[in-house]
Structure formats: C-alpha cells, structure tokens
Amino acid sequence: MSGDHASSTISAQVRHVESLLESRGLLDPGEIDTRIDEFLAGGTPANGARIAARAWTDPGFTDRLLTDANTAIREVGLSMAGGLQEQRLKVVANTPDEHHVVVCTLCSCYPIALLGPSPTWYKSEAYRSRVVRDPRGVLREFGLELPDDIAITVWDASAESRYMVLPRRPKGTDALTEPELTALVTRKGLIGTAAV
C-alpha cells in the first residue's frame, strides 16, 4: 500500500532527476544529501535567539529586521539560503497590544536555519488545524494566557515564506548583555507559543 502513496511517487521522481543531474556531471553523487545534512547541522534555536537579542539591544537592527529580515540577518552571519534559492523570511514583533504565532497549515514549513528542526507538535495535525481557529485556546494549552485585549495574529508559513516572532523583551533586563539576553530566548518564544 505505501508504494501507492503520493510522497512515494514524488520521491521516485526526485531520485530520477538527481540521477540525471549526476550522470550529466552537474551534481556529484550524494551532493544533495551532503548539502541537506550541512544545512540541518547549522540550524539551531540559538540562531533565532541571537537575532532576538540583537534586536532588543539595537533599535536600528530591529528596524532593518522588520523591514527586510533576509538582509538584516546577514549582519549576524546568518541566512535563509538552504536549498537552491533563499526562502523569504518575515519577522513579526510582539507588542503590548498584539501577539504573533506561526504555523504551517499545509505541512511544516519553518525557518530551520534559525530555529533548528521543527518540534513534533509544530508538525501535528492538531496544532496546524486548531491554532488558526482558536489561537487563544491553543496558546493557553502551551501555558501562555493572554489578556482578551491583546490581539493575536496567526502567520501561515509556506514553501516560499517563513516567519519568526520577535518576542517582547522581558522587563527588568536592561542591564543584561546581548549574550545574556540570548540565553533567555526559547524556540517556543520565536514561534509565538510562549513569552520570553
């Protein structure tokens, strides 16, 4: 039965194209797997945390990040290039009046380079379907109780576009250094299912 699954057909097609590219000398054998492994090895939530901490300490960087995230993250040595083309990154900032949360309703599109491999719950059907219908209830299940007067915006990622939440800087952290602030940021905070 599993041989009839749509993903099996797609996998076979991808392997065929990869073989053609290798036979014509356009790709070395195993090159795609090597590049995917390298990409995944570099992806960690610490990357997103560094971006958030820099934004909290540098208002100019924050402005650039919210305007053109792909360009801004290069300032801290990061990029969204993970395949043949760079994915579009949009960073959305939480405010006292608005909270953002990220989902991919179709599958599990996610900024791996900045947040590491996606958590299991992010890929689950329950999260993907419910967070768009009842974001406040889902966030409550994560332990994030938001007042009714805070608007919640849900961002739906796609194959071309990825989203990352810039959490609000915690109160009482003015004296902390950028590395100390980085240590406060969690992957859930960068997805929007937790506060920092």
Catalytic site residues?
104, 107-109
Amino acid at 98: E
User: Can you read off the two tokens belonging to residue 115?
Assistant: 């947040």
Residue with tokens 């929007």: 192
User: Can you read off the two tokens belonging to residue 63?
Assistant: 């402005």
- Which residues, including other chains, have CB under 8 Å from residue 196's CB and lie 6 or more apart? 52, 167, 168, 169, 170, 184, 185, 186, 189
Cβ burial, residue 171 (10 Å; 0-12/13-18/19+): exposed
- Check if the beta carbon of residue 162 is closer than 8 Å to that of residue 110: yes
- Check if the beta carbon of residue 134 is closer than 8 Å to that of residue 183: no
Amino acid at 3: G
